[in-house]
Amino acid sequence: MKKLATLLLAAGLVFGMSTGASAIDFKAKGLWIMAFDYGQNGGFTGGNHQTGYARNGIGSGEDEFEARQRVRLQLNAVASEALSGTVFFEINNTWGQNSSGGALGADKTDRIALKNAYLDWVVPETDLKVRMGIQGVGLPGFTTGSNVFNDDVAGIVLNYKFNDNVALTALWARPFNDNYTSTVDSYRTNYMDNVDTFALILPLTFDGVKVTPWGMYAAIGPNAFRTDANGNFAADRLNTPASYGYIAPGMLPAFGALHKDGTPVAKRLDSYGDAWWGGLTGEVTAFDPFRIAWDFNYGSVAYDDSHYDRKGWLASLLFEYKLDWGIPGLYGWYASGDDNDPSNGSERMPSFSNSNNNNGFSSFAFNGNPMIGERDRVLSTNMTGTWGIGARLKNVSFVEDLKHTLRLNYIGGTNNTTMAKRYMTGDHGGLYNASSVRGPIGGPAVGLDPLYMTTQDGAVEIGLTTEYQMYENFKIFMDASYIATILDHSSSVWGNSSINGVSDQVRDPWNINLNFVYSF
């Protein structure tokens, strides 16, 4: 609480000094969200066999009912159209939780986070715009948002508009650096642990048509996600998935480096990995009220040991027709999946982070609307290794200030059924221990998706989102979602495995969310 008071006092002093003493124009923005969730089975198990998951709750350490709040405060210091600075703070609290500052007294723990802090300026006598600092960066997407990268990151973004039809964006970002600590050889601390990304985005805008090709490259240091017990870089240590941070599942095969027989590869990474992505996204609105949109992405990560490699693609297509009362649409997507050979790495498209993404096809299975609570991504953070078809009625409104969006999706897997056996204890050379989940449910110890879907598996998602504009700056959201799983428990795929005599139980997740949002 003292930190918050100090922050507000400092802001007040800045405002006071600016009057008459400076030409700086200070602009404040804010957002308050009060969120209430009730749901079950966010881990698809109801808790059985999933380490860290509440038996009856929605997910890891959560009850069926949770109440949260989020406050975002943004301050812009504007000197002119050519120069400004922005700082963006976020405060998150779970009601009743001491560690987040939401318990009785409400001031036991400060949860003020710096979300963004960046500087905007224009190169004199040019139209080149520069933004440097911690900022939100997202790769292009016209259907589902980016399934590769959309998050807050430190970096520099350059934007130049050649004319009304052609622009160019270039960026360098540093997601990770100086996080590796060696307790054996101190001179190895921070050694080869950086991840640097470089991207070019070329928006092309014409009458009724938008097309955006883009490309991104990343250099991945071998120690970037290294967190083994000793921090040791010696040759007898392995860089396995258990030694990597949260980003690793998107950059490495789900099962780590394995030989064809499923046993681990006893070789560490000691050189930089090379990753690159390319995409072609766009939309056609020339035939209004028809709208056609598409996204195509391809990505590849290559390491000095090809067992760690990962490459794949994802394509999506959307058809919409705008009516006076709403926008009906049909859509589909397909993403490459793992083949039956673990020794050649993974055939699923690599990804960085999608934390800020807003998946237009799904508000529950994948990244949902950031205004609608925290209980999304129950199937996966992105759409790799899946295919699907769906229909939606978007922004349906028969009453002023009240609109609804209804979605119905069928989701299938594209991963080979042989890979299902890699989840079974004892079938992968002991890489995963008995505390990991068996069957189709991903285990937190190995960083897998919540639900790894093969070509024999499927799921049906239904969701209804309602938005009510009560006042000019005040909205109420309600989202109700349910996923019915259709998994193959035959002996050739997952089988009916058990741990400690308890059979696997795959349960359908569902959640109801109510959000109150005030913004200014």
The pLDDT-based confidence of 440 (bands split at 50, 70, 90) is: very low
pLDDT of residue 237 exceeding 80, the answer is: no
CB 90 within 8 A of CB 72: yes
pLDDT of residue 1 exceeding 50: no
Which residue would you say has higher pLDDT here, 496 or 364?
364
Q: In which band, very low, low, confident or very high, does the pLDDT at 264 lie, cut at 50, 70 and 90?
A: low
Give CA–CA dist 242/269, Å, rounded.
Answer: 14
Region 454-474 average pLDDT: 94
Q: Partners of 460 in the beta sheet?
A: 410, 484
> Which of residues 129 and 190 earns the better pLDDT score?
129
CB count within 10 Å of CB 411 equals 27
Q: What does the mean pLDDT of the chain come to?
A: 80
Cβ neighbours of residue 92 closer than 8 Å, sequence gap 6 or more: 68, 69, 70, 100, 111, 113
pLDDT in tens, 465-482: 999 999 999 999 999 999
> Tell me, what DSSP letter sits at residue 248?
H
pLDDT at 425 (0 to 100): 41
Could you please report the per-residue DSSP string of 273-337?
EEEEEEEEEEEE-TTTTEEEEEEEEEEEEE-SSGGG-EEEEEEEEEEEE--SS-EEEEEEEEE--
* Residue 84 binned pLDDT confidence (cut-offs 50, 70, 90): very high
Res 437: pLDDT:
36
Residue 18 CA to residue 29 CA, distance in Å, equals 18
In the predicted structure, residue 21 carries a pLDDT above the cut 70: no
pLDDT confidence of 48, banded at 50, 70, 90? Answer: very low
Distance in angstroms (rounded) separating the CA atoms of residues 240 and 265: 9
Whole-angstrom Cα distance, residue 161 to residue 133?
Answer: 21
**Of residues 171 and 5, more confidently modeled:** 171
How confident is residue 188, by pLDDT bands cut at 50, 70 and 90? confident
CB-based contacts of 218, cutoff 8 Å, min separation 6: 195, 196, 197, 198, 274, 275, 276, 352
Average pLDDT for 100-121 = 79
| Pure H helices in 127-279 | 248-251
Max CA pair span of the chain: 78
% of the chain at pLDDT higher than 90: 50
pLDDT at 423 over 80: no
Bridge partners of residue 320, in order along the sequence:
291, 329
Q: Give SS3 for 505.
A: coil
Mean pLDDT value across residues 489-507: 60
